[in-house]
């Protein structure tokens, strides 16, 4: 599918500004906001992101191919703030973010960063766009700077809404408001930006609300706020057809990619690691049998046999589940309906294996590795 058309967003900005100007001309309240300067729509865009080490990123095929981890045993959500030696923003991240600010400033874009409280490698980027029609352009410039400079610092920027299960999501938001020469005309409205086309969607809703509104400015703000509160990525009858088609196509492609990636990782990486671990235990059992008396051997080996039994149960279940995944991939509708649930079942078993398998054999960096940035 072609790139989402930015010109449609530009047209939607012009439409909502024109509707507001016409509404103000009809209202007595508009007299207090005479057009010494033209009324215009402004955005404050907020983008949350994770920063991780570039080489650890490359060692996770799921991150490289899907943008998020398809497996990972989550440590405690309170791990980082209570960890000795944790003092907020890692030095590597601090140097990188300061350089991003300087580079963006050279391109005429002012941005600020703040660290999120729960995880030391999650940040929120904010940029104020006075000319709303240029928001997609400015946002893309900032993202280009982020991606380009990250590689120079051996870092990787993750923009996926949920790259790590069990940890805070990375959302994108817009603060939407009208400005005049005398300051803010309306209170900024905050709504999610994660889905392509959300700005276009809200601008379309706002234009219609303004054109049909007959009450006061305060009542208009209430109506706009109510519309913003109901704006989500889920399907909505008011979503333009082009936006909805874009979302559905993107979701289908992403799901297919994740199902293929998880299947390959499970069989070629995680199951193989589990089998290596079982072989190590078997070797240990043979050694115990050679040096211990029968009674002591039986007692010492019983736990080892139990670990083997549990591990192989998970291995066999994973093989059956991956067979279900591959069957679902043959039918797009079946993949859409059954894929997410089967993926969750696969993930649970792999996460259990991560607790059992020797770290030496585990084939990918763990969450503990990824979420600490030295």
- pTM of this structure: 0.84
| Mean pLDDT calculated for residue range 260-286 | 95
DSSP secondary structure code for residue 31 in this structure: G
Dist. CA 154–CA 56, nearest whole Å: 10
Using CA atoms, how far apart are residues 346 and 314, in angstroms rounded to an integer?
9
CA distance 370 to 364: 10
Asked if residue 43 lies in contact with residue 148, where contact means CB atoms within 8 angstroms, the answer is no
What DSSP string describes 212-232? H--S-HHHHHHHHHHHHHT--
Burial of 101 (0-12, 13-18, 19+ CB in 10 A): middle
Q: Report CA torsion sign: 20, 22, 26, 29.
A: positive
Q: Domains plus CATH for the chain? A: 6-238 (3.30.70.1130), 252-371 (1.20.120.1560)
Backbone phi and psi for residue 144, each to the nearest 5 degrees, phi listed first:
-60, -45
DSSP alpha helices (H): ranges in the chain? 6-26, 54-58, 61-66, 91-106, 135-152, 198-212, 217-229, 241-265, 271-291, 294-328, 332-356, 367-371
Q: What is the pLDDT of residues 82-117, one digit of tens each?
A: 555 555 788 899 999 999 999 998 988 889 998 887
Task: Give me the pLDDT at residue 5, please.
Answer: 53
pLDDT for position 246:
67
Q: What tokens appear for 208 in the block?
A: 């219609």
Q: Is the model's pLDDT at 36 over the cut of 50?
A: no
Residue 68, helix vs strand vs coil: coil
As a whole number of angstroms, the distance between CA 322 and CA 263 comes to: 6
Q: For residue 212, what are the CA distances in angstroms to 20, 33, 40, 198, 223?
A: 11, 21, 20, 21, 11
| pLDDT, tens digit, 9 for 90 and up, residues 344-363 | 999 999 999 999 999 999 99
> What tokens were used for 87?
């003092």
Cα–Cα dist 128/44, whole Å: 4
Could you tell me which of 151, 51, 125, 156 has the C-alpha nearest to residue 93?
A: 51
**What distance in Å separates the CA atoms of residue 326 and residue 339, rounded to the nearest whole number?**
10
Output 266 or 135, whichever has higher pLDDT: 266
Whether the predicted pLDDT of 4 surpasses 50: no
Q: What are phi and psi of 238, to 5 degrees?
A: -85, -10
Residue 2: per-residue pLDDT:
39
Residue 78 has a pLDDT of: 59
Identify the residue with better confidence: 298 or 268: 268
> Based on C-alpha coordinates, what's the Rg of the chain?
26
* Tokens of residue 162, six digits: 């949920």
Give burial (CB, 10 Å; 0-12/13-18/19+) of 306: exposed
Segment 234-261 mean pLDDT: 74
53 - beta bridge partners? Answer: 155
- Crossing angle (nearest 10°) for helices 241-265 and 294-328: 150
pLDDT reported for residue 29: 53
Checking DSSP bridges between strand 183-184 and strand 172-180, what pairing results, if any?
antiparallel
Q: Computed from CA positions of residues 319, 320, 326, 329, in that sequence, does the dihedral angle turn out positive or negative?
A: negative
Average per-residue pLDDT in the chain? 85
Highest mean pLDDT range out of 88-97, 140-149, 244-253, 310-319?
310-319
């Amino acid at each position: 599918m072609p790139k989402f058309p930015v010109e449609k967003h530009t047209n939607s900005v012009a439409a909502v500004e024109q509707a507001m100007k016409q509404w103000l001309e009809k209202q007595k309240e508009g007299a207090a906001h005479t057009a010494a300067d033209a009324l215009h729509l402004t955005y404050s865009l907020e983008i949350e992101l994770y920063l991780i080490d570039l080489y650890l990123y490359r060692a996770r095929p799921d991150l490289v191919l899907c943008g998020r981890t398809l497996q990972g045993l989550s440590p405690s959500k309170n791990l980082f703030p209570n960890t000795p030696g944790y003092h907020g923003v890692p030095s590597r991240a601090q140097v990188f973010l300061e350089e991003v600010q300087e580079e963006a400033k050279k391109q005429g874009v002012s941005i600020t960063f703040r660290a999120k409280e729960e995880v030391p490698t999650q940040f929120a980027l904010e940029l104020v766009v006075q000319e709303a029609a240029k928001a997609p352009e400015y946002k893309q410039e900032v993202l280009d700077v982020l991606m380009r400079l990250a590689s120079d610092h051996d870092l990787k920027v993750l923009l996926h809404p949920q790259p790590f299960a069990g940890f805070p999501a990375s959302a994108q938001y817009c603060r939407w408001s009208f400005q005049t020469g005398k300051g803010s005309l309306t209170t900024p409205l905050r709504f999610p930006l994660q889905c392509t086309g959300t700005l276009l969607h809200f601008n379309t809703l706002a234009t219609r609300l303004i054109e049909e509104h007959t009450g006061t400015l305060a009542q208009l703000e209430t109506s706009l706020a109510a519309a913003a509160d109901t704006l989500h990525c889920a399907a909505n009858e008011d979503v333009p057809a082009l936006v909805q088609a874009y979302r559905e196509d993107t979701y289908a492609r992403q799901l297919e990619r994740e199902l293929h990636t998880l299947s390959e990782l499970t069989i070629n990486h995680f199951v193989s690691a589990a089998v290596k671990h079982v072989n190590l235990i078997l070797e240990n059992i043979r050694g115990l049998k050679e040096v211990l008396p029968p009674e002591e051997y039986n007692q010492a080996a019983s736990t080892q046999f139990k670990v083997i039994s549990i591990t192989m149960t998970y291995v066999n279940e994973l093989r059956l589940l991956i067979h279900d995944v591959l069957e679902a991939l043959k039918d797009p509708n079946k993949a859409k309906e059954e894929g997410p649930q089967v993926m969750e079942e696969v993930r649970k078993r792999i996460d259990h294996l991560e607790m059992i398998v020797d770290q030496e054999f585990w084939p990918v960096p763990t969450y503990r590795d990824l979420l600490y940035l030295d």
